[in-house]
Amino acid sequence: MKILFVLMLALAALFAFAQAEEKCDEACPYNYAPVCAKPLTGTGKALTFGNDCAVRVYSCETKTSSKAPTFPDDGKLRLYTMKFCPFGHRSQLIVEANKIPNHTVFVNTKDKPEWFIEKSPTAKVPTLEIPNKPEPLVESLIVSDYLVDYQPNSSLKSSDSYQRALDNILLDRYNGVISLFYAMLRGTAESTPENVTKFFNALEYYENQLKKRGTKFFNGSRPGFVDYMIWPWIERIDIVPNLIKGTFEWDENRFKNFLTWKKDMEQDPTVNTFWLSVEDHTTFITTFAAGNPNFYIQLISVVFIATLTNTSPAKKDSCQTVCTADYTPICAQIAQGKGADITFGNSCVLANYNCQHKDRAYTRKSDGECPGKAPVRL
């Protein structure tokens, strides 16, 4: 009975794996004979692979997944971003708020494709390509500002130049908040408490601005440019208490207006379009911040699991496979019992998940992300 169950799961995982491997379909052996490999070109970090074969599959997948996208000749803007990047998030919010016809392309920012490095002046997201213009735009505030003006009737900014200048001061100072956000996450047990204090001190300026303006949002009765430029890090703020080496606690009196603003922003339809759960943001930040994304170093063993009993201490390693870091999401549903659908970064990630969670296997439901606020696994 147990063996049959495991076999079924193995088959499901094998099926998902086969779908992931249309071109790079070399079947690797299941031994763990780790090799350290460095990129042939570029300056990327060296990675540990399960074995030689895993290196070949990884190289093949990276190559095939990095063809430059092609677009119809429709005059639409092309926004290159990364789903979990707060800077790209800024520009996505403006595209959506202003309903700008566009092509959004998610770029693998960990392992940047050659074509993107050639296309973007800084090889960073967001990059905005404008048909018939010689050079793409970069830097989130500049791209977002352009996107506001791109829509002639946009109401995201004040038409008064003095008010716009005041708004720009808010945005200029916000760079300090952003630096402290990351300083808190990176800090040691000694430095973190001090940076938490500094962070709240920097944020107090925004509390006071809301109080002074006497409006629900920085822009007025509806969110505008400033609100959307500030938002991405505030959406991510709830991950901080779980990740830092120290305490992070809101003083609800001190940040009364700001916390109300946060709640109101969460209700905004534009914010909702891109909203990700604390769990999703945490997964991303912990995987990427470690500089050693778990999907690089894994080694598949579908058949191995089938022959393995659950007493083997080697079980965890046996599940690991080499997945590319590309984001070609698929929506999957749980095979047995009940549970919400999950968006997996790509089919390989799904196969791994099934290998590691034998009692909660998922099967492909559709290509693309699951609708609504389904969690995302990378």
Binding site for ligand NAG (CB under 6 A): 95-96, 99-104, 153, 155-156, 158, 183, 186-187, 191, 194-195, 219-222, 224
Whichever of 168 and 363 has its CB closer to ligand NAG, that residue is 168
* Least distance between ligand NAG and beta carbon 190 (Å): 8
Q: Residue type for 200, please? A: F
* Least distance between ligand NAG and beta carbon 92 (Å): 8
Q: Which residue has the tokens 């047990």?
A: 189
Q: In degrees rounded to 5, what are phi and psi of residue 48?
A: -95, 130
The residue length of the chain stands at 378
In whole angstroms, what is the distance from residue 116 CA to residue 125 CA?
A: 10
Tell me which residues are annotated as active site.
85
Q: How far is CA 298 from CA 61, 231, 237, 372, in A?
A: 14, 35, 30, 30
Indicate the Cα dihedral angle 349, 3, 34, 43, nearest 10°. Answer: 0
Query: Contact, 13 vs 332, CB < 8 A?
Result: no
Q: What are the residues facing 137 on neighbouring strands?
A: 128
Residues 6+ apart with CB under 8 A from 332: 341, 342, 343, 344, 350, 362, 363, 364, 365, 370
- Strands 127-129 and 77-81 come out as antiparallel
Residues 6+ apart with CB under 8 A from 157: 148, 164, 167, 219, 224, 225
Q: Which residue has the tokens 């789903």?
A: 83
Q: Which of 306, 375, 350 is nearest to 2 (CA)?
A: 306
Q: Which of 367, 361, 316 is nearest to 11 (CA)?
A: 361
Q: Which of 13, 33, 25, 50 is nearest to 296 (CA)?
A: 50
In whole angstroms, what is the distance from residue 286 CA to residue 245 CA?
A: 14
In whole angstroms, what is the distance from residue 18 CA to residue 15 CA?
A: 5
